[in-house]
Amino acid sequence: RIVSAKQVPMGSYYEVKPNQLLGGGRFGQVHKCAELSSGLTLAAKIIKVKGLKEKVRGENEIGVMNQLNHVNLIQLYDAFESRTNLTLIMEYVEGGELFDRIVDEHYQLTELDAIVFTRQICEGVQYLHQQYILHLDLKPENILCVSSTGNQIKIIDFGLARKYRPREKLKVVNYDFVSFPTDMWSVGVITYMLLSGLSPFLGESDTETMNNILHANWDFDADAFENVSDEAKDFISRLLLSAKCSRLSASGCMKHSWLNNLEEKAKRHRVRLKSQMRLQSYLAAHRQWKKHFYAVAAANRLKRFQQSRSVSGP
């Protein structure tokens, strides 16, 4: 069903739990909430509308989410609009962020788990791309676990997502050069991090990191990838390519051998990955990671800006 923002007080339909904050980002706060008529638990993302920017972003998020119906993408349930807020009522998942799960010492991360997670990310992205939607904000925090025990995940945060319009870049002078491979690059980074616990472009300094990203300069750390299969490395190598047109598409990923024959892999990939131990011993590195992911996003923006000014960029 299509959701449009209702201009009535949401309090008559939903009870937002003020002390059950699920998370907060640059644009809004996400609270647990309940539908009064059914008792159903949902998540309310409350976007403070200070100006046109937040309004456009929120309306865009509703517009994009209305087109989505897939198990690996969070579903929009309802929406409300007031003078000060735009509220998105979404399906609620209770398992928390994927990378928080992975650093939990009670959880044993194997390559098979990484395959199961990556496959679902690719399935969600494949569906998005089939609808001609780009996510443009794929990062560890935007992958949530459905429950605290199972391995099912859902992609969230469609605040930056947009419809791909190939002709648009011709019309707009400084148009971001973004398209489907932009999301696939992020899938490559997430997979690299899942398997190794390392960020692929981390350098000695911020400048070095930026340069590594801009020139797609990375390799497989011998120690971190010691127990990782060649198929997995091949998968990553086909995503972290500076030439956009050479990167695997989401459907290409789904056909890659690493994401297939799971029954046979279940027999082999039972070793606990070093990535998890690495992360457990450096819990603080988690914060470092998040910071680094923003560096990746910033470098991508810089790269797009440079590309929009030169025809020959990668």
Question: What minimum distance in Å lies between the beta carbon of 205 and ligand ATP?
Answer: 26
CA distance 248 to 240: 9
The verdict on 43 binding ligand ATP (CB under 6 A) reads yes
Question: What minimum distance in Å lies between the beta carbon of 5 and ligand ATP?
Answer: 17
Question: What minimum distance in Å lies between the beta carbon of 257 and ligand ATP?
Answer: 32
Residue 124, C-beta contacts closer than 8 angstroms, at least 6 positions apart? 70, 72, 73, 154, 155
Question: What minimum distance in Å lies between the beta carbon of 32 and ligand ATP?
Answer: 8
The verdict on 28 binding ligand ATP (CB under 6 A) reads yes
Q: Which is nearer to ligand ATP, 94 or 234 (CB)?
A: 94
Member of 49, 116, 134, 156 binding ligand ATP (CB under 6 A): 156
Number of residues that bind ligand ATP (CB under 6 A): 21
The verdict on 157 binding ligand ATP (CB under 6 A) reads yes
The verdict on 74 binding ligand ATP (CB under 6 A) reads yes
The verdict on 58 binding ligand ATP (CB under 6 A) reads no
Does the active-site annotation cover 230? Answer: no
Please list the residues that pair with 47 across neighbouring strands: 28, 86
Question: What minimum distance in Å lies between the beta carbon of 88 and ligand ATP?
Answer: 8
Which residue's Cβ has the minimum distance to ligand ATP? 25
Report residue 111 as tokens: 């390559």
Q: Which is nearer to ligand ATP, 244 or 290 (CB)?
A: 290
53 annotated to a ligand binding site: no
Member of 33, 49, 65, 90 binding ligand ATP (CB under 6 A): 90
The verdict on 25 binding ligand ATP (CB under 6 A) reads yes
The catalytic residue among 137, 157, 176, 183 is 137
Q: Which is nearer to ligand ATP, 282 or 294 (CB)?
A: 294
Annotated binding site: 45
Task: Using CB under 6 A, list all residues that contact ligand ATP.
Answer: 22-23, 25-28, 30, 43, 45, 74, 90-93, 97, 141-142, 144, 156-157, 159
Residues labelled as active-site residues: 137
Annotated binding site for ATP: 45
